Structure 1
Amino acid sequence: MGLFLLWFFFGIGVIIQLIYLLVIFGRTAWFKSFTNSSQNQIPAEGVTVLVAAHNELQNLKVLIPKLFQQDYPKFDVMIVNDRSTDRTKRLLEEMMAIYPKLRSVTIKYTPNHVTAKKYALTLGIKVAKNDVILLTDADCMPTSDQWIRKMTAPVRENDKIFSIGFSGYEVKSTLLNKWIQFETMLTALFYFSFGLWKAPFMAVGRNLCYRKSFFLEVKAFKGLWHLEGGDDDLFINQYATGKNTSLVIDPEANTTSIPKESWKEYLIQKKRHLNAGKYYRGEDKRKIGLFSLSHALFWIGALGLLIYFGLGQEWEQFLIVLGIVLVRSFLVVWAFKSASKKIQGTATPMNILVNDLMYLGYFWVLGTISYQSKDIQWK
């Protein structure tokens, strides 16, 4: 009976994993970009780049000049100074004297019934000058001077409500950074691949565009005010469809963030991100859950069978299982490297096979803790 269950787990895991790797994730791995021929024919619509910042003095010193290097004719930058206790307000006053299109609003306190970042974003969006809103974070940098143009093009030119982009992390040589690169790419594979299949369900607020008018019309954070996270993925989860949403897969449309330097800081961050997942629609929870379940079944079955046949010296069966494991490993490496090249323009180092095994503990242990946690905070 035990051997049967191992084969059963292994078989189910193999089938579902192949579907994800070849059919679903393959949509991103095989993605071919196209050029919008109308780009130079449609008059440029105004864009507001919006950043909510809490004690981000050093990052804003770098970000603000970088934003004003963008090659786009009509945009302004709105910095929401959210309860900062450093010199952020003074810096913004100095910067506004240099950059006439820089604007700011200061928040001195957050009402009790709302969470800090949603309140900051809502206030910033309400006072934004333009209808097209492009969101990023204070520690994020555009990867090119075409970021505004390319990220907002689907909203400005193709009548989309949402435009979803990629935000990666700076590459470092540490084990933590390689894990961050792996997990970030896996997340991107989920939201880009399902988005390309006309079933978008999440995004990252570090690189997201939508219309102010739609945000205000639907009272975007209605029902979400009490949740610390989810200002990006839960908003998308509620309102994005295959018709009103576009994916921007282009290395020039990305942003790059500063990665966490310690496992403790990283786990606190991911705990907040994973906590928001329990509020997804049921069908969207299943998109991630089915992959993670089949991933666990595959490795439980594979390792169990390899140990069983190895101890019993049944080498023919052992080699069959090992061969299937190697084939899946090849497909995992292919999917991640191909997707990375399409999305980032290069295959970022990420210890793919080692981190694929680590994902077992990450999802089932940290995911369970995050799901049950009630002490989630932004800043």
Structure 2
Amino acid sequence: MGLFLLWFFFGVGILIQIIYLLIIFGRTAFYKLSKSSSNSQNEEGVTVLVAAHNEFQNLKTLIPKLFEQDYPKFDVMVVNDRSTDRTKRLLEEMMAIYPRLRSVTVKYTPDHVTSKKFAMTLGIKVSKNDVILLTDADCVPNSNQWIRKMTAPVRENGKTFALGFSGYEKVKGFLNSWIQYETLLTAMYYLSFGLWKAPFMGVGRNLCYRRSFFMEVKAFKGFWHIEGGDDDLFVNQYATGKNTAIVLDPEANTVSKPKLTFKEYLVQKKRHLHAGKFYRAEDKQKIGFFSLSHALFWLGGFGLLIYFGIDQSWEQFFIVFGIILLRSVIVVAIFASASKKIQGTNAPKNSWMHDFLYLGYFWILGTISHQAKDIQWK
């Protein structure tokens, strides 16, 4: 009976994994990038919105970069959310240099709402333009075509949402290698399902939507109290296959500063994963089926290797080992192709090793995040 269960777990795991890797993630990995640029004359105004809490150093870098964008009609709105550093003075100095820079200050946050959602709502309410493009203070655009390309589906094709990718700077060390892998895997989830006309999340570091729609649905109604989720929960609740587009173009990406310590990273991921518990049931399943089959594959596979090794059934041992090796080759190939399409760069090193470590990451950190009650933005 035990051997049957091991084969069953291993078989179900590899079957679902192949479906995800080749069919679902393959939607991104095998995507044909368009070489044509937008020739539309619809250059509707865009407001780039940044919510910032004590981000003096990052804003000092970001704001000049934003005004290098090759787009004729845009302004930048920075919401100064209760900052105690030199953010306010910097914004005043920058507004004298850049006339299209505007700011609004949040002095306090009401008790019944979370700080970032309140800051963003205030910023969106006073925005001049209907097309809102979001990013964070610690991000920078990947090119001067960021605004044009990220907003094109909303401006030109009548979409409500445009979902983009935001990566992290590469630095030396295992933590950064893991961050690169996990960020790419997350992107493959939401970009691939978005390309399948079944979007379920986005990232606020690179997200575009209509202000009028935001106001019409009363913004974050229903999840004001949840720390985080101003991006993925909003998309999860309102994005559909008809009103949402995926922007898969390295020039439309943003790049963020990565966490440099495991403590900082775990705090960040707890907040990100915590929001996932509030996804719709069918969207939880999109991640759940992959993670469950991933666990079944590795646990069943290692169980079989141990069993056949002890029993000295070497023919069956090498069959199982060969299947594990073949899947690892597929993982590396899919990640390599998807990274080229999404980022225009090579995949993180040792994807096969990170794939195995993901087993502990998802189930341990995911469980902790699901039960956490100390989630904070800043």
**Equivalents in 1 of 2:248, 2:39: separation in Å?**
20
Q: 2:174 — aligned with what?
A: 175
Q: 2:61 — aligned with what?
A: 62
**Equivalents in 1 of 2:97, 2:91: separation in Å?**
10
Is the 8 Å Cα contact of residues 170 and 258 (structure 1) preserved in structure 2? yes
Is the 8 Å Cα contact of residues 147 and 253 (structure 1) preserved in structure 2? yes
Where do 1:256-267 residues align within 5 Å? 256-267=255-266
Q: 1:223 — aligned with what?
A: 222
The AA in structure 2 aligned to 1:74 is K
Is the 8 Å Cα contact of residues 53 and 79 (structure 1) preserved in structure 2? yes
Q: 2:271 — aligned with what?
A: 272
**Equivalents in 2 of 1:68, 1:351: separation in Å?**
37
TM-score (norm 2): 0.99
- Report how far residue 252 of structure 1 moved: 0.2
The AA in structure 1 aligned to 2:117 is K
**Equivalents in 1 of 2:331, 2:185: separation in Å?**
10
Q: 2:9 — aligned with what?
A: 9
Identity of aligned residues (%): 76
Q: 1:87 — aligned with what?
A: 86
- Report how far residue 312 of structure 1 moved: 1.5
SS at match of 2:135: strand
- Report how far residue 231 of structure 1 moved: 0.2
**Equivalents in 2 of 1:329, 1:60: separation in Å?**
41
Matched, 1:361 2:360: yes
TM-score (norm 1): 0.99
Moved more, 355-364 or 130-139: 355-364
Is the 8 Å Cα contact of residues 40 and 156 (structure 2) preserved in structure 1? no
Q: 2:30 — aligned with what?
A: 30
The AA in structure 1 aligned to 2:14 is V
- Report how far residue 374 of structure 1 moved: 1.1
**Equivalents in 2 of 1:311, 1:258: separation in Å?**
48
**Equivalents in 2 of 1:328, 1:303: separation in Å?**
14
Moved more, 339-348 or 250-259: 339-348
Matched, 1:155 2:158: no
- Report how far residue 97 of structure 1 moved: 0.2
**Unmatched tracts of structure 1, length 5 or more:** none
The AA in structure 2 aligned to 1:12 is V
Is the 8 Å Cα contact of residues 335 and 347 (structure 2) preserved in structure 1? no
- Report how far residue 40 of structure 1 moved: 2.2
**Equivalents in 1 of 2:109, 2:136: separation in Å?**
19
The AA in structure 2 aligned to 1:111 is P
Where do 1:1-379 residues align within 5 Å? 1-34=1-34, 39-379=38-378
Which deviations, in whole Å up to 9, do the C-alpha atoms of 1:263-297 show, x marking residues without a partner? 01000000000000000000000000010000000
The AA in structure 2 aligned to 1:139 is D
Is the 8 Å Cα contact of residues 10 and 302 (structure 1) preserved in structure 2? yes
SS at match of 1:316: helix
The AA in structure 2 aligned to 1:61 is K
Is the 8 Å Cα contact of residues 42 and 155 (structure 2) preserved in structure 1? no
Moved more, 339-348 or 238-247: 339-348
**Equivalents in 2 of 1:341, 1:36: separation in Å?**
18
Which deviations, in whole Å up to 9, do the C-alpha atoms of 1:36-77 show, x marking residues without a partner? 67x323231000000000000000000000000000000000
- Report how far residue 349 of structure 1 moved: 2.5
The AA in structure 2 aligned to 1:169 is Y
Is the 8 Å Cα contact of residues 220 and 234 (structure 2) preserved in structure 1? yes
SS at match of 1:51: strand
**Equivalents in 2 of 1:196, 1:330: separation in Å?**
24
**Equivalents in 2 of 1:20, 1:222: separation in Å?**
33
**Equivalents in 1 of 2:299, 2:111: separation in Å?**
46
SS at match of 1:137: coil
The AA in structure 1 aligned to 2:312 is Q
**Unmatched tracts of structure 2, length 5 or more:** none
Is the 8 Å Cα contact of residues 195 and 201 (structure 1) preserved in structure 2? yes
**Equivalents in 2 of 1:40, 1:252: separation in Å?**
16
Is the 8 Å Cα contact of residues 78 and 128 (structure 1) preserved in structure 2? yes
Is the 8 Å Cα contact of residues 179 and 350 (structure 1) preserved in structure 2? no
**Equivalents in 1 of 2:13, 2:26: separation in Å?**
18
Is the 8 Å Cα contact of residues 28 and 192 (structure 2) preserved in structure 1? yes
**Equivalents in 1 of 2:343, 2:146: separation in Å?**
13
- Report how far residue 313 of structure 1 moved: 1.4
Is the 8 Å Cα contact of residues 143 and 252 (structure 1) preserved in structure 2? yes
The AA in structure 2 aligned to 1:2 is G
**Equivalents in 2 of 1:36, 1:193: separation in Å?**
22
Is the 8 Å Cα contact of residues 200 and 235 (structure 2) preserved in structure 1? yes
**Equivalents in 2 of 1:44, 1:376: separation in Å?**
40
The AA in structure 1 aligned to 2:29 is A
Is the 8 Å Cα contact of residues 49 and 78 (structure 1) preserved in structure 2? yes
Is the 8 Å Cα contact of residues 142 and 256 (structure 1) preserved in structure 2? yes
**Equivalents in 2 of 1:227, 1:144: separation in Å?**
33
**Equivalents in 2 of 1:355, 1:35: separation in Å?**
32
**Equivalents in 1 of 2:327, 2:350: separation in Å?**
15
- Report how far residue 356 of structure 1 moved: 0.7
**Equivalents in 2 of 1:41, 1:313: separation in Å?**
67
The 4+ residue runs of structure 1 with deviation greater than 4 A are: none
